[in-house]
Amino acid sequence: MRYEIDNTLLKSLLPAFALAEDMLARLDERVARSPVGAGFAERGHFFDAASALWVAGELVHVEDLVLHDAHMDSRTPSHELTIAHAVLRARRRIWTADPIWALSGAGLNVLAGAGLEDAGRAPEARSTLASSEEEKDEGEALLSMELAEIDAVLARSQRLLDTHLGRGSKVEERPKETPADPLGLLGDDEWDEAQRLSDWRAVIPLAEELPSALGAAVLFEAWERTEPLRRQHWLGGLLVSSYLRSRGKVASHLFSFYAGLKVIRHERRRSRDRATRLLAFLEAMRESAAAGLKDMDRLSLARTQMELRFRDRRSNSSLPQLAEFVLSRPMVSSTMVARQLRVTSRGALNLLNEIGIREITGRGRYRAWGII
């Protein structure tokens, strides 16, 4: 697929991408220098994952996503919530990897679910606030290994019993039948995802010759036009954020592109005019950066107010740790605080009352707190 940018189109996009470049630079500089930058980056994962489903036409509440990520679902997770959590995990994986990993062939294969996991493993670049999740994954891996050993012992025991009981030592295995798909509902042979991904990656050299914001808009427009992955169409916005990070435009955090794209009208995002689509994507970057600056204001003010409450406390007080945890999540519950700080439920409630953050549920049975 040949992709070109003519001079006439560049002139029409000049004011829009100049504003987008300015807003992205302001946000990146502030997040890099702010003490709440790490919490803002972690909160952005949740908001962008919910916004990605919003753009796809599905509604996922951020509160449900936070509880699902903490394995504290208040109800059975829906299909949309499971997809949003996949977006959340993909964002974290891209953020902890090298800036150029997600755009490489190995990185795309891993994110798309193709290829060998070990061959395209993301090299770790930095740690995140979700260290407990990594420990949990290691524990689950060890548990899986132990369960596999138990299954192997049971299989050997069953073969030994069958031999002594005269049932024969060989068990006939029926060949697995491949499901018939005469209507082509389960797959499309003409939809070559590998070739479409290759066509999209061919646009990256063209984007490298353009300014960062305009190159990101071109990449996302090419993604929307090519549609490489039908089941992971949301991956395009994450790759755009990774591209901005690899160019050094937004290096302090993984940019939340979908947070600004959801406020753009569908008619502009899906317009037949290419210039209209590019303008819409540049405006989405500007809107997302503006929303990020407002969120930084809220987090900075909340941190200042919380610091006033534990300024004269003893050195081993749990309030500073609670403040960092509250700043890294859109909302927290008493159970989440108790697990994070390793205190009792009653102690978590006392800490939440002392730190002075707003309760956002207003219920007696299920209570949650957050920075609004």
Q: Are strands 368-370 and 358-359 parallel, antiparallel or unpaired?
A: antiparallel
Q: pLDDT-derived band of residue 311, with 50, 70 and 90 as boundaries?
A: confident
CA distances to 37, 226, 306 from 300, rounded to whole Å, are 9, 41, 10
For residue 156, the Cα-to-chain-centroid distance in whole angstroms is 43
CA–CA separation, 281 and 210 (whole Å): 15
What pLDDT score was predicted for residue 365? Answer: 61
Domains, the chain, ordered by start: 7-134+192-292 (no CATH), 310-370 (1.10.10.10)
pLDDT digit string, tens, across residues 245-273: 999 999 999 999 999 999 999 999 999 99
CA–CA separation, 130 and 112 (whole Å): 23
Q: Which residue has the tokens 């491949």?
A: 178
Average pLDDT, integer, range 60-71: 92
Torsion (CA) 353, 358, 363, 368 in degrees, nearest 10: -80
Indicate if the pLDDT at residue 164 is higher than 70. no
pLDDT digit string, tens, across residues 80-121: 999 999 999 999 999 999 999 999 988 998 998 754 344 444
pLDDT > 90: what percent of the chain?
A: 52
CA–CA separation, 46 and 246 (whole Å): 22
What pLDDT score was predicted for residue 170? Answer: 45
What pLDDT score was predicted for residue 154? Answer: 79
pLDDT digit string, tens, across residues 182-199: 554 555 556 678 888 888
pLDDT digit string, tens, across residues 283-303: 999 999 999 999 999 999 999
Residue in 362, 360, 364, 354 with CA at minimum distance from that of residue 331: 360
Average pLDDT, integer, range 15-44: 94
